[in-house]
Amino acid sequence: MITDADDFFTKGCGRCARFDTPDCSTRQWIDGLNNLRRICRDMGLEETVKWAHPTYMHAGRNIAIFGAFRGDFRLSFMNASLLNDTEGVLEPQGPNSRTPGVIRFTDAARVGGVEPVIRAYLRQLMDHAEAGTKPPKAHAEIDMPDELADALDADPELAEAFHALTPGRQRSYMFNLNQARQSTTRVARIEKFRDRIIAGKGAMER
């Protein structure tokens, strides 16, 4: 998987055999993806790579992440529960998502049409990051670490597999991740756990 954001815009994410081929999903949507990148950079966001996708940060907090698929490309807002969706453009990431936080594009030219909205929503989240505002805790049986919530929002395949796990298996990952004191450690553990979650196993299962 890629670690340099430039690679995403020239080759893809590196997660499948279509990486660095004309069939990569990023090739189909490259004009729109480059436009999203321009907007995020113009806003002064820090560009990095997480979960093999371009991720944009501000004041130490994840703000947005890009994704490209065969049928669409997406701008996903992190901590989307803090957003005031005044324009009604946000959709849920998937059927198990509690908070709408994604703008899906099936036409690269549409990015320019909603650029003012994108900028306004990024600004909202940047202001929250500067203020240290925390998203409201969802009333759920399991205490989900922020890093896992971000990973599920950014990775539909992982989200579907995680929500298909039994509550006990979900709790095993929650417990393990919550034992880590540092966010970087939790992110690294999520990367390590991904294949196990996809396979339907708990954190301690072989």
Q: Give how far Cα 80 sits from Cα of 69, 134, 143, Å.
A: 21, 11, 18
CA dist., res. 182 & res. 103, Å (int): 30
Q: Is 0.75 surpassed by the pTM of this model?
A: no
What the block records as the tokens of 135 is 């998203």
Amino acid at 194: R
CA dist., res. 142 & res. 168, Å (int): 10
The confidence score (pLDDT) of residue 141 equals 56
Does the pLDDT value for residue 206 go beyond 80? no
pLDDT digits (tens, 9 = 90+) for 129-185: 999 998 876 544 567 888 998 999 888 889 989 988 888 888 899 989 998 989 999
